[in-house]
């Protein structure tokens, strides 16, 4: 079955002469995987980073250690900085980021399992969305990737 969201991202990027990069944590590269499954994606996918640890988020994407300490890895400010960092690192027109708690463990009262922040950085700035998924680990990762591609499409219009 064709991945309609990834296909549409590819169509729009190609039409705009634009490019994309990814910065993923809880999705573990799933967004980059979906984007690169499209034939010809090498024309617009510049690269991606799976920054699972806070140290990787800081070293590879420039996420401020003070922001990580104050807000935690699963937060809107971190998703924003991840997206900005990937856009800068790869020189991409757009960058999409995801940070969240896929489960089954790792949640708390303030940050439950399924909590996910998705960011998209583009020429007009950064947009961040908050979601809480109710599935298992694999489902939460899939929902996050779906929402990330949907937000990317929304920002690109």
Q: What is the CATH number of the domain that holds 22?
A: 3.90.950.20
Q: What are 26-69's pLDDT values in tens digits?
A: 999 999 999 999 999 999 999 999 999 999 999 999 999 999 99
- Confirm whether 97 is domain-assigned: yes
- Confirm whether 5 is domain-assigned: no
- Dihedral, CA of residue 13, residue 81, residue 56 and residue 31, to nearest 10: -30
For the chain, the domain total comes to 1
Mean pLDDT over each residue of the chain, to the nearest integer? 96
Q: What are 129-141's pLDDT values in tens digits?
A: 999 999 899 999 9
Q: What are 11-27's pLDDT values in tens digits?
A: 999 999 999 999 999 99
- Confirm whether 28 is domain-assigned: yes
Q: Which of 104, 140, 136, 99 is nearest to 116 (CA)?
A: 99
- Confirm whether 8 is domain-assigned: no
Phi and psi torsions of 59, nearest 5°: -70, -40
- Confirm whether 39 is domain-assigned: yes
pTM beyond 0.85: yes
- Confirm whether 11 is domain-assigned: no
- Confirm whether 132 is domain-assigned: yes
Q: How many CB atoms lie within 10 A of CB 118?
A: 28
More confident residue, 13 or 104: 13
- Confirm whether 64 is domain-assigned: yes
């Amino acid at each position: 079955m064709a991945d309609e969201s990834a296909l549409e991202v590819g169509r729009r990027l190609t039409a705009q002469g634009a490019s994309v990069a990814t910065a993923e944590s809880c999705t573990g590269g799933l967004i980059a995987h979906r984007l690169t499954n499209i034939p010809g994606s090498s024309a617009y996918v510049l690269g991606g980073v799976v920054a699972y640890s806070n140290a990787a988020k800081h070293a590879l994407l420039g996420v401020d250690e003070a922001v990580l300490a104050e807000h935690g890895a699963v937060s809107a400010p971190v998703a924003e900085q991840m997206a900005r960092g990937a856009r800068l690192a790869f020189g991409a027109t757009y960058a999409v980021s995801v940070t969240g708690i896929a489960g089954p463990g790792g949640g708390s009262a303030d940050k439950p399992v399924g909590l996910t922040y998705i960011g998209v950085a583009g020429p007009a700035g950064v947009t961040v969305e908050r979601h809480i998924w109710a599935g298992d680990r694999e489902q939460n990762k899939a929902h996050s990737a779906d929402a990330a591609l949907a937000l990317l499409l929304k920002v690109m219009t």
